[in-house]
A and B are shown apart, each in its own frame.
Chain A
Amino acid sequence: MNVFSPLFVMCLQFIAVLFAAPAFAGWVRMVKCWFQGRKSAGLFQPYRDIFKLLNKDVVLAENASWIFRFTPFLVFGTTVLAGVIIPILSIDLPLSATADAIALVALFTIARFFTALAGLDIGTAFGGMGSSREKTVASMSEPAMLMAIFTVSLVSQSTSISHMVNVIAHGEFVLRPSLAFALLAFILIALAETGRIPVDNPATHLELTMIHEAMILEYSGRHLALIEWAGMMKLFLFTTLGIALFFPWGIAAAGDITFLPVAILLLLIKLFFAGIGLVLIEIGLAKMRLFRIQEFLGSAFLFATLGLLSYFMLE
Chain B
Amino acid sequence: MSISPFILAASAILIFLSIPLLVPLFLRHQRLLINISSLIAAIASLLAITAGVWTVWKGSTESYIMPLGLPDLPFHLRLDPLSGFFFTVIGLLGFSVSIYSIGYVKGFLSRRPVNRLIIFYNLFMAGMFMVIIADDAFFFLISWEIMAAASYFLVMFEDEKAENRKGAFIYILVAHVGAIAILLSFGVMASLATGFENFGGYTFDAMRQTEFPIKWATVAFLLAFLGFSAKAGVFPLHAWLPEAHPVAPSNVSALMSGVMLKTAIYGIVRVTFDIIKDFPWWWGVIVLIFGLLSAVMGVLYALMQHDLKRLLAYHSVENIGIILIGIGLAMTFTSFHLPVLAALAITAGLYHTLNHAMFKGLLFMGAGAVLHATRVRNMEEMGGLIHKMPWTAALFLIGCISISALPPFNGFVSEWLTFQAFLLSPSLPSPILKLIFPLAAALLALTAALAATCFVKAFGITFLGQWRGHHTHVHEASPSMRVGMILTAVSCLFLGVFPTMVISWMDIIPEKLVGGSLTTTAGQFGWLWLTPISHSRASYSAPLVFLIILAVVLLIYIFLHTRKTAIHRGPLWDCGFEKIDTRMQYTGTSFAMPIRRILGFIFLIKETVRIEASTGTPGHNTFPRSIHYRLRVRDRMWGWIYNPVADASFWIARKTGKLQQGRIQAYLVYSFVTIIILLVLL
Which A positions have Cβ atoms within 8 angstroms of B?
54-63, 65-67, 73-74, 76-78, 80-81, 84, 95, 97-100, 102-103, 106-107, 109-110, 112-113, 116-117, 119-129, 131-133, 135-136, 138-140, 142-147, 150, 153-154, 157-160, 163, 217-218, 221-222, 226, 290-291, 294, 301, 305, 308-309, 312
* Known A-B contacts A63-B387, A113-B406, A123-B384; A136 and B598 likewise in contact (beta carbons under 8 Å): yes
Mask of B555-573 contacts with A, CB within 8 angstroms, 1/0: 0110010010111111111
Supply 6 further A-B pairs (C-beta < 8 A) apart from A59-B568, A60-B567. Answer: A77-B548, A100-B538, A110-B407, A116-B456, A139-B453, A158-B537
Name the one of B419, B466, B565, B568 contacting A102, with C-beta atoms under 8 angstroms: B419
Given the complex, which residues of B lie within 8 Å of A78, measured CB to CB?
549
Closest to B468 in A: A123
Q: Could you list some 20 contacts between A and B, CB below 8 A?
A: A57-B565, A60-B568, A61-B570, A62-B572, A67-B386, A73-B557, A81-B548, A102-B538, A113-B401, A113-B404, A120-B464, A121-B460, A121-B465, A123-B383, A131-B591, A145-B445, A160-B537, A160-B539, A218-B573, A308-B435
Cβ proximity bits B439-479 to A, threshold 8 Å, 1 near / 0 not: 10111011011101100110111001110000000000000
Q: How many residues of B contact A (CB 8 A)?
A: 82
B372-416 interface bits toward A, Cβ cutoff 8 Å, 1 = contact, 0 = none: 000000000001101100000000010001001111000010001
A123-B585, A159-B537, A222-B560 are known contacts. Are A62 and B593 too (CB-CB below 8 A)? no
**Contact (Cβ within 8 A) B416 A103:** yes
- B586 is an interface residue with CB less than 8 A from chain A: yes
Whether the pair B585, A124 counts as a contact (CB closer than 8 A) is yes
Binding site for A on B (CB under 8 A): 383-384, 386-387, 397, 401, 404-407, 412, 416, 419-420, 423, 426, 431, 434-435, 438-439, 441-443, 445-446, 448-450, 452-453, 456-457, 459-461, 464-466, 529, 535-541, 544-545, 548-550, 552-553, 556-557, 560, 563, 565-575, 580, 582, 584-586, 590-595, 597-598
B160 to chain A, nearest CB (A): 36
Q: A106-B407, A150-B423, A308-B435 are in contact. Are A160 and B387 (CB under 8 A)?
A: no
Contact across chains for A138 and B452 when beta carbons are under 8 A apart: yes
Give, as a whole number of angstroms, the nearest-CB distance from A226 to chain B.
7
Closest to A95 in B: B544
Specify the chain A residue showing the minimal Cβ separation from B593: A132
When the two chains form their complex, are residues B571 and A61 in contact, meaning their CB atoms are under 8 A apart?
Answer: yes
Q: In the bound complex, what is the Cα–Cα distance between A127 and B586 (angstroms)?
A: 8
Q: Give the CA-CA distance A100 to B541 in the complex, in Å.
A: 9
What separation, in Å, do the CA atoms of A124 and B586 have in the docked complex?
A: 7
Leading 5 A-B pairs by shortest Cβ distance? A128-B586, A120-B460, A123-B465, A77-B552, A139-B449
Chain A residues whose CB sits within 8 angstroms of the CB of B416 once the complex forms: 102-103, 106
Say whether A62 contacts B571, CB under 8 Å: yes
Q: Is the interface of B mostly helix, strand, loop or mixed?
A: helix
Q: Are A132 and B448 in contact (CB under 8 A)?
A: no
Tell me the bound Cα distance from A135 to B556 in angstroms: 27
Q: How far is the CB of A312 from chain B (nearest CB, A)?
A: 6
Q: Which residues of B contact A66 (CB under 8 A)?
A: 386
A117 touches B459 (CB 8 A): yes
Q: Is the CB of B386 within 8 A of A81?
A: no
Question: Across the interface, do A77 and B438 meet the contact criterion of CB distance under 8 Å?
Answer: no
Question: CA A77 – CA B570 in complex, angstroms?
Answer: 27
B265 to chain A, nearest CB (A): 24
Q: How far does the Cβ of B211 sit from chain A's closest Cβ, in whole Å? A: 36
Known: A123-B384, A138-B452, A312-B435. Is A97-B535 also a contact (CB below 8 A)?
Answer: yes
Q: A57-B568, A106-B407, A132-B586 are in contact. Are A117 and B594 (CB under 8 A)?
A: no
Residue ID in chain B nearest A163 by CB atoms: B536
Cβ of A155 to closest chain B Cβ, rounded Å: 11
**Is B445 touching A138 in the complex (CB atoms < 8 A)?**
no
Chain B residue nearest in CB terms to A290:
B594
- Given known A-B contacts A76-B552, A132-B590, A163-B536, A121 and B464 have beta carbons under 8 A apart: yes
Is B590 within 8 A of A128, CB to CB? yes
Q: How far is the CB of B649 from chain A (nearest CB, A)?
A: 39
Residue in contact with A58 in the complex, picked from B419, B567, B584, B592, CB distance below 8 Å: B567
Write the nearest CB–CB distance from B407 to chain A, whole angstroms.
5
- Please tell me if the beta carbons of A294 and B598 are within 8 angstroms of each other in the complex: yes
Contacting pair A106 B405 (CB below 8 A):
yes
Assess the A143–B443 pair: CB atoms within 8 A.
yes
A93–chain B nearest beta-carbon distance, Å: 12
Q: Report chain B residues within 8 Å CB of A57.
A: 565-568
B586 touches A146 (CB 8 A): no
